Amino acid sequence: MRKTGIFYHRSFSRRSYLTAGNRLADFPDALVPLLSKENILLYESKPVPKELVLKIHTPKMVQEVESTTFCSTAYESAGGVVEATQLILTNQLTNAFCFIGCGGHHAGRDYFWGACCFNDVILAITNARETINPNLRFVILDTDAHHGDGTRQLLELHKDTNTLHLCLCDREWHSDDGLRHDFDVTWVTYDRDPDGDYIKIVEKALSIASSFKHDLFYWYMGFDTYRGDYGSVGLSRECFLHIASMVKDFARQHTHNKLQVVLAGGSLREMATWLIPKVIDKLSTWEDQGEDS
């Protein structure tokens, strides 16, 4: 049976900077209907081991994170992402949705900002390569409104040629080696066709990913691009479900369904409550149940 994991900790709905607007106030109750499906499993996010954190972040930065109020959920936030990757790549889960209390993509080797503390996805990749296979390959699609500068810095510092980074943000830039791509979405506006224009950019990013052989696809899902949120480009609620279908279908074709969705930016409670259960339901629903998982 294909299984979808949900990684969550109650602190994500009660404290940390990202939840200052109570964006996750309706959780975990909003998950109850989903948990009646036998192929959805709820995990409590465990703290990431400090020794793993110190492999990618400096001791000074770790001390600063530990003393910063908005990073009070940093260990649990990263820990859920790390465990989900481990379980997917060892075939104990097919895919997963990871809640977070503080983000990761603005956390670099020795700095953090923008409600990000430890770089969750880079920690997960590092752990997987150390414990499963050093040659594992990954794609990261970051659709948070802001540039994933910390992720980009760490990939470059590690000279990671086995990870493709696709960032939809505020600039257009493509590395000569084809491993790092930034797509400018600032031209997407309310008075055009924001959903259609944005989807075309996602399609362009996925087209690049299709030629990069990989073992796991990460979707760093920010909903701050939703109309009225702090990074808005005018997207509708339905646009995010469209993207969820796109990345799920992409993972079906390219990674035997191995897909990990990591929650990123977005502040609106009503949007979180509407969107997140629907994305998880989409992850856990299979039209081809007769196929092997």
Average pLDDT of the chain? Answer: 94
Q: For residue 122, what are the contacts with CB-CB under 8 A and spacing of at least 6?
A: 56, 104, 151, 154, 155
97-124 pLDDT, tens digit per residue, is 999 999 999 999 999 999 999 999 999 9
Task: Summarize pLDDT for 227-249 with one digit per residue, the tens.
Answer: 999 999 999 999 999 999 999 99
Q: What is the pLDDT of residue 21?
A: 57
pLDDT beyond 80 at 293: no
Distances in Å between the Cα of 204 and the Cα atoms of 113, 142, 167, 181, 183 are: 29, 13, 11, 11, 9
The pLDDT of 152-180, averaged and rounded, is 97
Section 169-180 average pLDDT: 96
| Residues 162-171 pLDDT 10s | 999 999 999 9
Distance CA 36, CA 89 (A): 25
pTM listed for this prediction: 0.96
Q: What is the pLDDT of residue 120?
A: 98
Instruction: Please identify, in words, the CATH class of the domain defined by 4-284.
Output: alpha beta
**Looking at residue 4, what is its pLDDT?**
98
| Range in 6-10, 55-59, 210-214, 283-287 with the lowest mean pLDDT | 283-287
Q: Note the pLDDT of residue 204.
A: 98
Least confident range from 78-82, 137-141, 285-289: namely 285-289
- Supply the pLDDT for residue 292: 45
pLDDT class of 291 with cuts at 50, 70, 90 = very low
Kindly give the interhelix angle for 120-131 and 74-89, rounded to the nearest 10 degrees: 40
166 in Cβ contact with 141 (< 8 Å): yes
What are 19-68's pLDDT values in tens digits?
555 899 999 999 999 999 999 999 999 999 999 999 999 999 999 999 99
Write the Ramachandran bin of 91: left for phi over 0, alpha for psi from -120 to 50, otherwise beta. Answer: left
Cβ burial, residue 290 (10 Å; 0-12/13-18/19+): exposed
Phi-psi region of 119 (alpha: psi -120 to 50; beta: other; left: phi over 0): beta
Return the domain boundaries, the chain.
4-284
